[in-house]
Every structure is written in C-alpha cells, then in structure tokens.
Structure 1
Amino acid sequence: MITPIEIRQQTFKKALRGYDKEEVRAFLQALSQEWEQHLEAHRNLKEELEKVQAQFNTLKEVEDMLHKTLMQAEQSSKDTIENAKEKAELKIREAETTARDLVRQGMDQRSALQAEVEELTRQRDKVITQLQVFLKTQLDRISAIDLIELPPNTAQTPPPTTASSQDNFFDSEINGAENSSFEDIIEEL
C-alpha cells in the first residue's frame, strides 16, 4: 500500500520535453492529501467497525445468556408444573385412600352396630318371653288361688272398708301384722 509520504517523495527521471515539474509536484501533493484523507477515513471506519463488532459481540453474549436463561426458566417452569402435578396426584391418591379407609371403618362400625342391635333385639325378645312365661305362671297361680276353697270364716264380718281402712289394711300387710294365709299364698308363688 502506498503511503502519502511516498507519493510526496516520489521522483521521476528527467526526460527531454517531459512534464512540468511544478505541475507534477502540485498534482502529487493534492493526491497525497486526498490519499491521506482516505486512509484517515479508512482508519476511522476500521475503528468504528471494531467498536461495532465489540458491541455486537457483547450483545451476542447477552442474547446467548438470555436464551440460556429463558431455556432454564422454561425447563424450571416445566419441572415446577410436573412437580406440582405429581404432588397433586399424590394428594389425590392419599385422599382417596383416606376416604376408602373412612368408608371401610364406617361400614365396619355399621356392621358392629347392626350386630349389637340384633343381639339387643334377641336379648329383648328373650326377656319378653321370660316375662310372658313368668306372668303366665303367676296368672295360673292366681287362678289356682281362686279355685282353692277358703275355710269358712267364723269371725264376724268385718265392717265395710273405706279408703283409709284399706290403706291400713295394706300397711298392716306390709308390716306382716294380719292375714298370714295371704302371706302363705304369696310364698307359694
């Protein structure tokens, strides 16, 4: 590459009837100045290109980092969603298991209560049957008492009873003061 200084210092051989030296020097000087301006512009453009290239590289690195960050965020988001789905499915399975256990316990309790109700019903029926038998026996005994002939009463006929005399009668019965024959009957029962 020719420099502006080389253009200025360029010399030519002298020839007969050659070019005008001053005119050639003026042309070379103008050419040298213009060439110097072009080289300066070229240097400026090269520096500008290097700055732009550095900015481009920086922006490219930022873009790559942003792309990586975006990909990581996307993957993290997918992982988070997947984890949330897995946790939700686990919670659902646990809830279903708990619900099945509760239903099973409820059914077991229901069966136990039904068995208990059935047992209580059998016991009630047994007690009722025993009471019926007992009461029938007692009624039969009472009927038998009605059939027994009482010895003739030689004592005077008691006066008609009033409510207060009946109470006295029952009080005396409770205390065991009168009618031992009635007590004998009750003992037989």
Structure 2
Amino acid sequence: MKLTALEIKQQQFEKSLRGYDPAEVQSYLNLIASEWEHMVGKIRELETQVDKMNNKLKHYERVEEALHETLQTAKSSAEEKLSGAKKEASIIREKAEMEAEAIIKDANQERREIRQSIIQLIDKREEIIRSIKSYLENTRESLDQFSDDERSLFTVPDQPEFISKKESRKSPAQKPEKSNLLKDSDIPGAERIDSIIDELD
C-alpha cells in the first residue's frame, strides 16, 4: 500500500474519552507528511539518477563492446599484416638468396674463365719465348756459320807449291800430281777462288 503526504495529513482517528490530543496528533501527522513528501521527492530524484546512470552504463557497455570489436578487428588486422609481412620478408629473403647464389655462380664461372685465359696467356707467352729462343739460336748458328764461311773464304791456305792459272790451263798430262793439295770441295767458297785469283793477277 502506497501512502501520499496528502493521505497522511487527512488521516482521521476516532475520538475517545482518554485519547491523544488531536492538535498534537495533527501536528505530528503534518510533520510526517512533510518528511514523507521530502523522502518521496528524494526517492524520485534518486530513481532519475539511477535511470541516468543505467543509461550511461548501457552507453558505456555499447562503447566497450564497440571498442572490444575494434580491438579484435585491429588485432586480426595486425596479425594478418604481420603474417603478410613475414611472408613478404620470406619471399624477399629467398629471392635475395637466389640472386646471391646466381651472382656467386656467375663470379665463379667468370673466375674460372679468367683463370683459363691466364693459363692460355702463360702458355702462349712460353710458346713465344720458346719461338724467340729458337729463332735467336738459329740466327746465332747462322751467324757463326756465316762467320766461319767468311773466314775460310778470305783466307788463302799456305801451300808449298801454288798452281797458277796459266799452269792450270795446261793439258792434264802436264799437270803435276800433288797429293798434299786441298780439293776445291774441302774449301768453303772454293767456287769463287778462281775469280779472286784472276783479280789478283
């Protein structure tokens, strides 16, 4: 049963011979009614505040739920981005490793080619040196031979008996036979001796 301040003020009591003083009772009822009215107003004010707090609480709950969803979305997005970044980094690393292997392979191949070229150049150098040495040796032998031939050509052998050109024109029966004379074939350049002797005469 709900009471109002007006109901408390208008409350009537039966009178008796030795009952309470009506004025005092009425004064007390007025006081109770006033307090009751104050308490009802306070209760309504508190109920209004409670409603506001409930509304705020619901708002905060919605905000919290939205934040939670946003956080979950951000977390999922971050995980996806992290996973994508890891995959991309793995791809970049694998590509870099492949490129590095290709570069090393090409460098090794180029190194082998350069080494082979150097070996060929060394062999060619040795071949050229051998050719030059052979040429120089042959040239020196030719010069030595030419020097010996020249010395023999311009040196007249010392003979006890010299056959002049006139005597050499005699018949074979008149030519003296000397066993110690050199043969033309034994003297280098003998084919030119006759012409030299003619010039001397």
> How far did 1:97 drift?
2.7
> How far did 1:89 drift?
4.3
Partners of 1:38 and 1:155 lie apart in 2 by 172
> How far did 1:9 drift?
2.8
> How far did 1:128 drift?
3.5
Q: For the aligned residues, what is the CA RMSD?
A: 3.2
Cα deviation digits, residues 33-82 of structure 1 (max 9, x gap): 22111111111111122222323333343344445445554555555555
Specify every segment of 5 or more residues in structure 1 that has no aligned partner in the other structure, as ranges. Answer: 157-189
Q: Which residue number corresponds to residue 55 of structure 1?
A: 56
Runs of 4 or more consecutive aligned structure 1 residues displaced over 6 Å after TM superposition: none
Cα deviation digits, residues 100-148 of structure 1 (max 9, x gap): 2222211111111111222233333334334444444444444444433
Partners of 1:21 and 1:66 lie apart in 2 by 65
Q: Which residue number corresponds to residue 100 of structure 1?
A: 101
User: Which stretch of structure 1 is more off in the superposition, 59-68 or 103-112?
Assistant: 59-68
User: Which structure carries more helix by proportion?
Assistant: 1
- Partner letter of residue 46 of structure 1? E
- Partner letter of residue 22 of structure 2? K
- Alignment of 1:37 with 2:77, yes or no, is no
> Any idea what SS the aligned residue of 1:96 has?
helix
Partners of 2:104 and 2:199 lie apart in 1 by 79
Q: Which residue number corresponds to residue 12 of structure 1?
A: 13
Q: Which residue number corresponds to residue 189 of structure 2?
A: 149
- Partner letter of residue 11 of structure 1? Q
TM score, norm. by length of structure 1:
0.62
Q: How many residues are treated as equivalent by the alignment?
A: 156
- Partner letter of residue 149 of structure 1? G
Specify every segment of 5 or more residues in structure 2 that has no aligned partner in the other structure, as ranges. Answer: 150-187
Partners of 2:125 and 2:98 lie apart in 1 by 40
Q: Which residue number corresponds to residue 126 of structure 1?
A: 127
| Percent identity for Structure 1 against Structure 2 | 26
Partners of 1:155 and 1:109 lie apart in 2 by 73
Partners of 2:25 and 2:129 lie apart in 1 by 150
TM score, norm. by length of structure 2:
0.59
> Any idea what SS the aligned residue of 1:12 has?
coil
> How far did 1:24 drift?
3.0
Partners of 1:29 and 1:135 lie apart in 2 by 151
Q: Which residue number corresponds to residue 109 of structure 1?
A: 110
